[in-house]
C-alpha cells in the first residue's frame, strides 16, 4: 500500500517477481520561487533520505512535480539530462539536477527527440509560455527500460498541468545458481623442475601423508576426496599460485603518448569551461583524433613484434625437433 512520508512525498513498493521490487515515489515540491531557502533545503534533504533508504536492487520511478525548470544546456549534468530538453530555465533548476546526480538518476523527459508541445507540461498564467516542471526520473542503469516519455494533451478535466506518460518495460535478471564445484586454482609447478625444490616438496608431502589418518566409517569415495584435498592443500602451501603477467601493448611512460593525452585533457577542460564553442570543440576533436591515431600505430607495432617473436619461437622448435 502507499506509504506517506510527508504531505509532499509518498512512496509505494510493488513486487515484480521473486525477490524483485519496484519503488514508486510521488513528489510534489513546494513553490521554490516564493518559499524561503530553509524550506526548500528541508524538502530536498527529506527526499534524499527517502532515496537513500531504497534498496539498490529495486527498480525506481520518481514521479515529480518539482516546480523547477531545467534547460538543455545544463553541461554540468551530462549524466542526468540528455540533449532533448527545452531552452527555458529558472534559478532553481539545478536543485533537482544535483539530487539526481548524487543518486545516479536520469531525467527520462530529455531522452527522446520530439516536439516541444510533447515536452512541456505547464503554461504560465501571465506570459502564456509553456514550461517543463513535471519529471519522470529513474536510475541511470535502467534507462534502457524506458520506451517513451511524453506529454498527453487533451485531458477531460480541468487542470493547469498536462498529463505526463511514460512507457516502461522492466528487465529483470534471473539469478543463476552455479552447478558443481569450482575448479582448483592452478599452482606454480615450474618449481618442481629444480632438483632441490622437488626433493623438498616430496619430503613435505611424505610428512603430511604420514600424519593423515583415514576415517574407518567413511566410504571409498569420501576417503578419495579427503586424500585429494590433503594433497592439494600441501602442494598449494609449498608451490603457491603462479604470478599473472599482463603484457600491455603500449608503454605508459612513452613521452609522445603522455603529450597527446595531456593535450586531449586540456582541450576537454576548455570545452567544459567555455560551454562548447566551435573552436574549442574542433580542438578537442583534433586532439582525440591524434591520440587514436597514435594508439593504432602503437598497437600495430606491438602486434608486429609479437608476430616476429612467435615466428622465432616456432623456428627454434622446428630446429630442435630436426636435431
Residue found under cell 527517502? 50
Sorted by where each begins, the domain ranges of the chain are: 3-168, 189-239, 255-322
92: cell is 532553481
Grouping H, G, I as helix, E, B as strand and the rest as coil, residue 271 is helix
C-alpha cell of 35?
518559499
The beta-strand segments (E) located in 47-162 are 59-65, 105-107, 122-123, 130-131, 134-139, 146-152
What is the CA angle 238-239-241, rounded to 5? 125
The pLDDT of residue 10: 93
Class of domain 3-168: alpha beta
pLDDT digits (tens, 9 = 90+) for 203-247: 888 888 887 776 677 788 888 888 888 888 888 888 887 766 656
Say how far apart CA 82 and CA 230 lie, in whole Å.
59
Tell me, what's the pLDDT at 9? 92
Give the pLDDT confidence score for residue 163 in this predicted structure. 80
Nearest to 75, CA basis, from 66, 87, 83, 67 = 83
Find how far residue 320's CA is from the centre of its chain.
51
pLDDT, tens digit, for every residue of 60-94?
A: 998 877 665 555 544 455 666 666 656 555 556 67
Nine-digit cell at 59? 527498480
Distance CA 21, CA 41 (A): 29
Other C-beta atoms closer than 10 Å to the C-beta of 137 total 25
CA–CA dist 228, 306 (Å, integer)? 40
Each as own residue / partner, the long-range contacts of residues 252-261 (CB below 8 Å, 24 or more positions apart, any chain) are: 254/298, 256/294, 257/294, 257/298, 260/287, 260/290, 260/291, 260/294, 261/291
- 121 conformational bin, left if phi > 0, alpha if psi -120 to 50, beta if neither: alpha
Could you tell me the three cell numbers for 223?
Answer: 576417503
Report, as ranges of residue numbers, the positions in the chain whose pLDDT lies below 50: 73-75
Amino acid at each position: 500500500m502507499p506509504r506517506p512520508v510527508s504531505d509532499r512525498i509518498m512512496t509505494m513498493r510493488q513486487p515484480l517477481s521473486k525477490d524483485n521490487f519496484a519503488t514508486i515515489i510521488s513528489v510534489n515540491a513546494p513553490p521554490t520561487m516564493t518559499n524561503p531557502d530553509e524550506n526548500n533545503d528541508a524538502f530536498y534533504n527529506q527526499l534524499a533520505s527517502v532515496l537513500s533508504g531504497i534498496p539498490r536492487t529495486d527498480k525506481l520511478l520518481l514521479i515529480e512535480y518539482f516546480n523547477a525548470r531545467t534547460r538543455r544546456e545544463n553541461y554540468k549534468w551530462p549524466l542526468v539530462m540528455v540533449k532533448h530538453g527545452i531552452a527555458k530555465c529558472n534559478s532553481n533548476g539545478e536543485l533537482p539536477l544535483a539530487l539526481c546526480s548524487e543518486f545516479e538518476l536520469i531525467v527520462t523527459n530529455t531522452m527522446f527527440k520530439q516536439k516541444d508541445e510533447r515536452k512541456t507540461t505547464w503554461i504560465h498564467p501571465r506570459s502564456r509560455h509553456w514550461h517543463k516542471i513535471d519529471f519522470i526520473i529513474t536510475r541511470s542503469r535502467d534507462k534502457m527500460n524506458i520506451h517513451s516519455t511524453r506529454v498527453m494533451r487533451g485531458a477531460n478535466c480541468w487542470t493547469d498541468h498536462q498529463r505526463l506518460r511514460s512507457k516502461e518495460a522492466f528487465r529483470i535478471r534471473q539469478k543463476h545458481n552455479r552447478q558443481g564445484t569450482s575448479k582448483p586454482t592452478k599452482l606454480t609447478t615450474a618449481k618442481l623442475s629444480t632438483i632441490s625444490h622437488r626433493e623438498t616438496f616430496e619430503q613435505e608431502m611424505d610428512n603430511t601423508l604420514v600424519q593423515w589418518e583415514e576415517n574407518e566409517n567413511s566410504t571409498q569415495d569420501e576417503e578419495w576426496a579427503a586424500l585429494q584435498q590433503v594433497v592439494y592443500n600441501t602442494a598449494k602451501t609449498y608451490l603457491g599460485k603462479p604470478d599473472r603477467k599482463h603484457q600491455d601493448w603500449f608503454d605508459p611512460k612513452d613521452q609522445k603518448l603522455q603529450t597527446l593525452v595531456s593535450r586531449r585533457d586540456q582541450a576537454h577542460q576548455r570545452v567544459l569551461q567555455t560551454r562548447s564553442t566551435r573552436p574549442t570543440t574542433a580542438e578537442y576533436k583534433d586532439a582525440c583524433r591524434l591520440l587514436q591515431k597514435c594508439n593504432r600505430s602503437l598497437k600495430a607495432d606491438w602486434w608486429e613484434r609479437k608476430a616476429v617473436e612467435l615466428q622465432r619461437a616456432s623456428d627454434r622448435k622446428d630446429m630442435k625437433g630436426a636435431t
